[in-house]
Amino acid sequence: MNAFSERDLHRCGPNRERPLRLNAARLRALGPGAVGERYGAPKYRLARGCVRLHIPLTTNSDAVLYLDGTEHACQPSEFWYGDFSREHAVRSLGTTTRVHTVIDVLFTIELAVLFPPDWQDS
């Protein structure tokens, strides 16, 4: 999973050309003490041309995402991509609710330029 800086998010702000071809967007909340089951979303993988992006809005120190056996602590104002077609799960054992904006988009060249150069080379 790769994190992008807040500066990169501003590239698609109100005064810029938008690189996203939106399929769906929603807020996802995970309440205190919640533990999600492991699952995969096979529709959202690069081979199908559709990816899932996460933008954490609020979180707590005990909220984590498990993807490919690795634990990730996503923080507010970060912009995350992960291959969510792979098995993943979430956990929020803190005392506050974790909220993410989840965006499903078509993968385009315009979106690819927002990804870190080392990811683009792979």
Strands, E, within 59-97: which ranges?
Answer: 63-67, 70-72, 79-81, 88-92
**40/67 Cα distance (integer angstroms):** 10
Q: What is the pLDDT of residues 57-103, one digit of tens each?
A: 999 999 999 988 899 999 998 888 888 889 999 999 999 999 999 99
Q: Hey, what are 40's tokens?
A: 């995969």
pLDDT of 18 higher than 70 = no
